[in-house]
Amino acid sequence: MTTTLDQPPVQTPGPEPRRVQSGLLDPKLLLTSLPGAVKKLDPRVMVRTPVMFVVEVGSVVSTVFAIVDPSVFSIVVAVWLWLTVVFANLAEAVAEGRGKAQAETLRRTKTETVARRVTGEEVPATALVPGDLVVVEAGQLIPGDGDVVEGVASVDESAITGESAPVIRESGGDRSAVTGGTRVLSDRIVVKITAKAGESFIDRMIALVEGASRQKTPNEIALNILLASLTIVFLLAVATLQPFAAFAGASQPLIVLVALVVCLIPTTIGALLSAIGIAGMDRLVQRNVLAMSGRAVEAAGDVTTLLLDKTGTITLGNREATEFLAVGGVSPAEITGAAQLSSLADETPEGRSIVALAGGHVEPPAGVVFVPFTAETRMSGVDLGDRQIRKGAASAVLKWIGGSPSAEVGSIVDTISASGGTPLVVAEKVGDGPARALGVIRLKDVVKSGMRERFDELRRMGIRTVMITGDNPLTAKAIADEAGVDDFLAEATPEDKMRLIRAEQEGGKLVAMTGDGTNDAPALAAADVGVAMNSGTSAAKEAGNMVDLDSDPTKLIEIVEIGKQLLITRGALTTFSIANDVAKYFAIIPAMFVTAYPSLDTLNIMRLHSPQSAIVSAVIFNALVIVALIPLALRGVRYTPSSASAMLRRNLLVYGLGGLIVPFVGIKLIDLVVQFVF
Ligand SMILES: Nc1ncnc2c1ncn2[C@@H]1O[C@H](COP(=O)(O)OP(=O)(O)OP(=O)(O)O)[C@@H](O)[C@H]1O
Ligand SMILES: [K+]
Ligand SMILES: [Mg+2]
């Protein structure tokens, strides 16, 4: 096969890159989101946010009141209560709106393509079902999601990643998954379709960025329940206030009671909660990470252990054969021939590189039976009549031979391993005779650059990194040392990987895993945060709950930051919201009862103009604070690596104390304006 991978990529006029937007709120977005915010006034939508539903009911009650007993006061209160609900919906609509543009770009990728089956038959891409085999050649769009089962090609994935550099996709290894709608730039591949039309990766991406598939996380549900309980408590408190007020001869008009309830219940966080969650998912999309579940994003904020697969995750993953080393009097030609023969049908990158090093492809002899590589056996090879050849991990092949390795094999294997290379022992068995080692193949792999710094950063965030690999302990140690991970597990089978995760989780820890291979799939599924590399296999992408379009294992640092930021933002705004309401209490209660109890005037520390202006100011402040906090909810509170207690102290100070003070200033300022009306 000829590859043209070093040719400059064909420039396709694809959609523009997606990483365009800044974290700041575009005022235009507030306007364009307004219709959506009004639409959300539908009570069936509102009930999902109990706090804001109560405000909506209050708005209806006060509107009726304002119609029956019109006055400037009642009309102003009714209008501002409605605005409170609209502002809350606006926060959610704005958060959702940011994904809409992205969804549009993605939709343009979903052009009608024609698929060519291996049989030559041409069908519309929508007619493809999982299992179908299609041929895609240079210049053509890949008609559906699948795995490359034959060939190597460079693919332009800019439509989904926004990254213009082409990527290599090949059969056999851990870089086999292709996405429908991306373009093959060179060569010819056969793709086995894995996704039904309508359930493709791009379809899922669109649903995700539009927020269509968003479900409340357990944490959000718990917080909503807490907020609803607080709301009930305040409702009861205000309801029982009236008899006392009546007793004191200061019976309050209904609209004042409604205003009081709205000011006391946690409307700020109730209004922003959903926007905070959507914005978190959106921030991930901005960094080319697709999170399939909000729960995983939150879990990322509390992760304590990160497991990484070695080959293709910490290393570049194109493990290439660089040398054949014969042992025990075997001739160089003999080991080269055996290595080549055993790899003729080995579609893994390792297998192909062995054939290439041995001089290229030759026709296999008649009657040969190939034994494919599996992660469990860690061997591959051929059976040729009564002659068997195997190559694979030293421990596996030596077990197959039965017996301990010769000193010569042992020392070659150890030397290769100690340098971070992967030794593959080649052995042969003829008839019933004893098996013997023929030599060792040296596979070379390179640690990706910048790993050590990134792992240091994870350590500062309190996260332990563990590399898990199917490779031998010596190679594993060499690579682990070079990359700077905290720990490693070698000779791990897919089950071992999963067991390690379960063991870590048993202690109540949250575990993240990044991987790309089919052998990583069980572990990716078991992890709390399973990040599959986009370059990996379909099985891995299916099993994880996040996909990194950039296939960068250290992306987890950003994922963790975004998760932490989400949790901190939610906590900070909850603190602010509740502190805020306490302050409003002091604005309204004295105003309500000052005529009955003139001594209460000492509580009126803000020296507000009149009881009516005090209530109106509190209601207006309550609504405006929601709008003022939308940018913070969308952008998130800044996260800097520090201890959890230091962070808590800081947030209590800023958002707790701030929440107490800001309303006094805000309500006073509004009162200075409002006093001219009353
Ligand atoms: N094509 C092959 N034929 C024979 N043996 C192989 C082949 N590819 C890999 N091996 C051996 O099997 C071992 C396990 O491979 P596997 O792909 O499961 O893990 P890995 O890629 O080394 O590690 P990781 O789990 O980090 O990706 C390798 O270390 C190597 O010794
Ligand atoms: K409130
Ligand atoms: Mg692997």
Q: What is the pLDDT of residues 252-304, one digit of tens each?
A: 889 999 999 999 999 999 999 999 998 888 889 888 898 888 889 999 998 99
Whether residue 675 is predicted with pLDDT greater than 60 in this model: the reply is: yes
pLDDT tens, position by position, 551-570: 887 888 899 989 999 999 99
**In this model, does residue 249 exceed pLDDT 80?**
no
Please answer whether residues 79 and 107 qualify as being in contact, where contact means their C-beta atoms are separated by less than 8 angstroms. Answer: no
Task: Report yes or no for ipTM above 0.90.
Answer: yes
Is 377 known as a binding-site position? yes
- What backbone torsions phi and psi does residue 467 show, to the nearest 5 degrees? -90, 130
User: Does 487 qualify as catalytic in the annotation?
Assistant: no
192 is in an annotated binding site: no
Q: Who lines ligand 1 at CB under 6 A?
A: 309-311, 346, 348, 350-351, 373, 375, 378-380, 391-393, 422, 424, 469-471, 517, 519
Number of the ligand closest to the Cα of 230 = 2
Going by CA atoms, what residue is nearest to atom 8 of ligand 1? 350
Which atom of ligand 1 is nearest the CA belonging to 424? Answer: 31
Q: Which atom of ligand 1 is nearest to the CA of 314?
A: 26
Residues 6 or more apart whose Cβ sits within 8 Å of residue 70: none
Q: pLDDT tens for residues 120-155?
A: 999 998 889 999 999 999 999 999 999 999 999 999
What is the reported pLDDT for 525? 93
Per-residue confidence (pLDDT) for residue 488, from 0 to 100: 95
Mapped onto helix, strand or coil, the DSSP state of residue 468 is strand
Distance from residue 315's CA to the centre of ligand 1 (Å): 13
Chain CA centroid to CA 545, Å:
7
Mean pLDDT of the chain: 87
| DSSP type of residue 574 | H
pLDDT at 538 over 50: yes
In angstroms, what is the span from residue 261 Cα to ligand 2's centroid? 8
Q: Is pLDDT at 3 greater than 50 in this prediction?
A: no
pLDDT tens-digit readout, 392-449? 999 999 999 987 778 899 999 999 999 999 999 999 999 888 899 999 999 998 898 8
CA–CA distance, 383 with 386 (Å, rounded to integer): 7
According to DSSP, the residues that pair with 256 across neighbouring strands are none
- Is the per-residue pLDDT at 350 higher than 80? yes
Contact, 296 vs 512, CB < 8 A? no
Q: Please return the burial class of 67, using the count of CB atoms within 10 Å of its CB with bins 0-12, 13-18 and 19+.
A: exposed
pLDDT digits (tens, 9 = 90+) for 567-612: 999 999 999 999 998 888 877 777 777 777 777 777 677 777 788 8
From atom 3 of ligand 1, which residue's Cα is the shortest distance away?
Answer: 380
* Nearest CA among 293, 300, 391 for reference residue 342: 391
Rg (CA), the chain: 32
Cα–Cα dist 464/105, whole Å: 38
SS3 of 289, please? strand
Q: Inform me whether the pLDDT recorded for 381 exceeds 90.
A: yes
| In contact, 370 and 359? CB cutoff 8 Å | no
Q: In the numeric block, which tokens belong to residue 557? A: 């640092």
Give the residues across from 465 on adjacent strands.
Answer: 306
Active-site residue identified among 132, 156, 309, 445: 309
Residue type, 212: A
pLDDT value of position 212: 64
Burial class (CB in 10 A: 0-12, 13-18, 19+), 652: middle
Ligand nearest to the CA of 467: 1
Q: What is the pLDDT of residue 213?
A: 63
Q: Which of 48, 45, 44, 40 is nearest to 86 (CA)?
A: 40
Which pLDDT score, from 0 to 100, does residue 13 have? 36
The per-residue pLDDT for 461 is 84
The residue with tokens 């906090």 is 629
Per-residue pLDDT band at 2 (split at 50, 70, 90) = very low
Interatomic CA distance for residues 289 and 551, integer angstroms = 9
**Parallel, antiparallel or unpaired: strands 529-533 and 510-515:** parallel
Q: How far apart are CA 364 and CA 362, in angstroms?
A: 6
* 374 annotated to a ligand binding site: yes
**Statement: residue 14 has pLDDT above 60:** no
